Amino acid sequence: MSATVTAPGGRPVSSRTAERVSVRPVTFVRVLRSEWIKFWTLRSTWWTLGATVVLMVGLALLFAMAISAIPADDTAAQEGMAAGGVVGPTIVTLGSEFAQLVVAVLGALVVTGEFSTGMIRSTFAAIPGRISALWAKLVVLLAVTAVVSAVGVALAYVATAGMLDDLGLPVDFGDADQVRALVGAVLYLMAVAAFSLGVGALLRHTAASIGVLMAVFFVLPIVFQIIVAASGADWAVDVNAYLPSVAGEQIMSGGPTQEGRLEPWTGFSVLAGYTAALLAAAAVSLKTRDA
C-alpha cells in the first residue's frame, strides 16, 4: 500500500510539519458553547422563537381590539371584566397562554431532536459526564426564552398601549402587582421551557413529549375548568389550582387572587417545584439509561 495517504481531495492526512491538534479538557463553559452553537444552528429554533413573539404580540393586539369593541354602555361586560381582574397587564400578557405551547415544543425539541436523530450519541461521546450537557441545554434555553419572551411582552405593550389608555386600562408601572405580572410572563415562559426540557429528556421522543406537554398545558386546564364549573367539587378545585399551568400562570395575575387559585408566588413556586423534580429525574435518567 502507498505510504502517503491522501484525502479524496488530494490533501495529506496530516503533514509532518503540522503541529499537534490542541484538545482541551471538557469544562462546563465549553459544553455551554457547544450547546449554544447547536441551539442556533437548527431552523426549528428560529421558527419557534419567531412564533413565540408573533403569538405574544398578535394575541395581545387581538384581545385589546376585542375589548375596545365592547360598547361603553354594556355595563354587564364592563363589570364582568372588572370581576375577572382584567387590568392592563392581563391584556399585554395574554399571548403567553398560546406562546407557552410553542415554547414547550422548543424546550422538548432541544433534547428529543438529539435522541430521534441519534445526535445524542455524538453528544455523549464528546461529553461522557452527560449531566453537564443537560444543564448547558437548560442554561441556553432559559437565557434565550427570557430574552425572547421579554421582547414579546415589550412589543405587546407597545402595540396595545394606545388602546389600553383609551379603555382606561393603562399599565401602571407604579403598581408592584402589575409589574410582577409583566415580569411574570417572562418567568412563566422560562419555567415552561425548563419543564418541557425535563419531559423531553425523560421521554426521549418528540411526539410523545409534545403530546404530554399539550395535555399538561392545554387540555388538562380546560378539562378541569369544565369539571369545576359543572360540579364545584372541592377536590376538583384543589387539583385545578395545583395544575402546572394553572398554578404557574398565577404569577401573571394583575388583580386580587380569585377564589380557588393560589397566590401569585405560591403558584409559581408550585410550577418551579414540578420543574425541578422533572429535571432531577431527567438527570438521573440520562446518567443511567443507555444512549
Partner 1 sequence: MIEAAGLTKRYGEKTAVDGVTFTVHPGKVTGFLGPNGAGKSTTMRMIVGLDRPTAGTVTVNGRPYAKHRRPLAEVGALLDAKAVHTGRTAYNHLLAMAATAGISRHRVDEVIELTGLQAVARKRVGGFSLGMGQRLGIAAALLGDPRTLILDEPVNGLDPEGVVWVRNLAKYLASEGRTVFLSSHLMSEVALTADHVIVIGRGRIIADAPVQDVVDGASRRLVRVRSPQATDLAELLTRDGATVTSGGPGLLEITGPDAASVGELAAASRIVLHELTPVASTLEEAYMALTADSVEYQSEDLATADQAAAERAAEQELVAEGDHR
Query: Does residue number 290 form part of the binding site for partner 1 (CB under 8 A)?
Result: yes
Site residues for partner 1, window 105-124 (CB under 8 A)? 113-114, 117-122, 124
Query: Does residue number 37 form part of the binding site for partner 1 (CB under 8 A)?
Result: yes
List own/partner pairs for 81-87 with CB under 8 A and 24 or more apart: 84/258, 85/253, 85/254, 85/255, 85/256, 85/258, 86/169, 86/254, 86/255, 87/169, 87/171, 87/172, 87/178, 87/181, 87/254, 87/255
Nearest-approach distance from CB 291 to partner 1, in angstroms: 5
Query: Does residue number 16 form part of the binding site for partner 1 (CB under 8 A)?
Result: no
Task: By CB under 8 A, name the one of 154, 208, 223, 291 that touches partner 1.
Answer: 291
Query: Does residue number 17 form part of the binding site for partner 1 (CB under 8 A)?
Result: no
Choices 30-38, 62-70, 80-88, 178-186 (CB under 8 A): range interacting with partner 1: 30-38
Q: Which is nearer to partner 1, 6 or 68 (CB)?
A: 6
Distance, in Å, from the CA atom of 210 to the CA atom of 100, rounded to the nearest integer, reads 12
CB distance 124 to 31 below 8 Å: no
Choices 70-78, 168-176, 190-198, 283-291 (CB under 8 A): range interacting with partner 1: 283-291
Query: Does residue number 68 form part of the binding site for partner 1 (CB under 8 A)?
Result: no
Query: Does residue number 147 form part of the binding site for partner 1 (CB under 8 A)?
Result: no
Distance, in Å, from the CA atom of 69 to the CA atom of 63, rounded to the nearest integer, reads 10
Rg of the chain over Cα atoms, rounded to whole angstroms, equals: 24
Query: Does residue number 43 form part of the binding site for partner 1 (CB under 8 A)?
Result: yes
The count of C-alpha atoms lying within 13 angstroms of the C-alpha of 46, restricted to the half-sphere facing its C-beta, is: 4
Distance, in Å, from the CA atom of 40 to the CA atom of 46, rounded to the nearest integer, reads 8
Nearest-approach distance from CB 210 to partner 1, in angstroms: 16
Strand partners, 12: 6
Task: By CB under 8 A, name the one of 17, 41, 76, 256 that touches partner 1.
Answer: 41
Q: Which is nearer to partner 1, 24 or 176 (CB)?
A: 24
Cβ neighbour number for residue 112 with a 10 Å cutoff: 25
Choices 11-19, 81-89, 149-157, 187-195 (CB under 8 A): range interacting with partner 1: 11-19
Query: Does residue number 50 form part of the binding site for partner 1 (CB under 8 A)?
Result: no
List own/partner pairs for 20-28 with CB under 8 A and 24 or more apart: 26/126, 26/127, 26/129, 26/132, 28/132, 28/135, 28/136
Query: Does residue number 127 form part of the binding site for partner 1 (CB under 8 A)?
Result: yes
Strand partners, 6: 12
* Binding footprint of partner 1 on the chain (CB under 8 A): 1-2, 5, 7-9, 11, 13-14, 20-26, 30-31, 33-35, 37-38, 41-44, 113-114, 117-122, 124-129, 288, 290-291
